[in-house]
Structures are given as C-alpha cells and as structure tokens.
Amino acid sequence: MAQLFGMTLGVLIVALALKDKVENGGVYSGNFAVLCPADPDPPLEGKTKRCSSTGVALETFIIETAVTFIFVSVICNVKFLNDPKSTVATGLTVGLTLTGLIIISGAESGGCINTAVGLVQSIFQHILFKNRADQEEHEIPGFASLPIYVIAPTLGGVLAGFFHLLNAKNVTA
C-alpha cells in the first residue's frame, strides 16, 4: 500500500513538473519513458520507441519475471548472507543490481520490476498519452499490457522467495 501511495505521489509530482510542457489541450508532446512491450520493428525516423500489443507479450512476461526474480534473489541473499549493519555494501549491491537490470530490460519491456510501478505507470501513461496526436503511429497500450506488469513481477518475486527458502535450508544444513 505504501508503494502505491509513493508511486502515485511521484506521478503527481511529475505531472506538475510537466504542466508547462503540455500543449494542444492536454496533449503531452515531449518524450517520456513508456512502460510497454517493445515493437520488434524499428521506430520511424525521428519518432520514439513504438509499443506493440501483439506478438511480444510472452517475451515481455518472461523478461519481467526473470529480472524481478534476479532482483529479489539478490536482495534476499544480501540480507541473509551479510551483516545487517553493512548498509553501504548492501545499498551499493542492491542499487547497482537494480540499475543494471533496468538497463538490460528497459529497452525490451520497460524495466518494471515492481508491481506498484507497473500499475501506477500504466494508469499515468494512459492519462498522459490518451489524446496524443500521433497515437496511430505510436500505440500506447495503456491498460492492455497491465496484466503483464502486475503478474510477472509478482511471480518473479514469489519464485525468488521460494528459491531463497530452499537456498537458506541448504546453507544452514
């Protein structure tokens, strides 16, 4: 619940920051990071990444599940294997892992890695892009891909939790 509140607050802050850049009666005309399955075709010249609502859903689901699994596994193992007081090493490990996973998965799936991010970002981009002038050229799936970004990170986190339980039993045995 706190993550949803934090994401919503963050979206509102971004919306206020973009208020001066909105044109044409509520249509945002600039570039914005979009959470969507990537279109396998290259974008048109001078245009941003296109979204695809067909053909890449399974790939996006697998990517999001895998990167969330890796991220949660790193968090669990760092917490379990390190002294809780070693906050600098723990913070660097978690932060660099998150950064690397977003860089790796961002171009293909958007790099969600968190159910709250998937939920709030989908709502935000639907509101932001719903009247965009070039919507036909750049489909913004809005809620079409929402199940991917809610179920895949949840599944990845649950699998990582089970993996950690099995790993913890083997380490202590």
pLDDT at 153: 94
**Domain count for the chain:** 1
Q: Is 45 inside any structural domain?
A: no
Q: State which residues of the chain have pLDDT below 70.
A: 3, 11, 14-34, 36-55, 83-84, 128-142, 171-173
Q: Is 130 inside any structural domain?
A: yes
Q: 79 lies in which domain range?
A: 50-172
For residues 39 and 49, is the Cβ–Cβ distance under 8 A?
A: yes
Q: Is 136 inside any structural domain?
A: yes
pLDDT at 27: 45
Q: Is 15 inside any structural domain?
A: no
pLDDT at 133: 45
Q: Is 156 inside any structural domain?
A: yes
pLDDT at 25: 46
Half-sphere exposure in the Cβ direction for 76 (13 Å, CA): 19
Q: Is 122 inside any structural domain?
A: yes
pLDDT at 19: 59
> How far is CA 142 from each of CA 44, 52, 88, 109, rounded to the nearest angstrom?
21, 11, 38, 14
pLDDT at 111: 84
pTM for the whole thing? 0.74
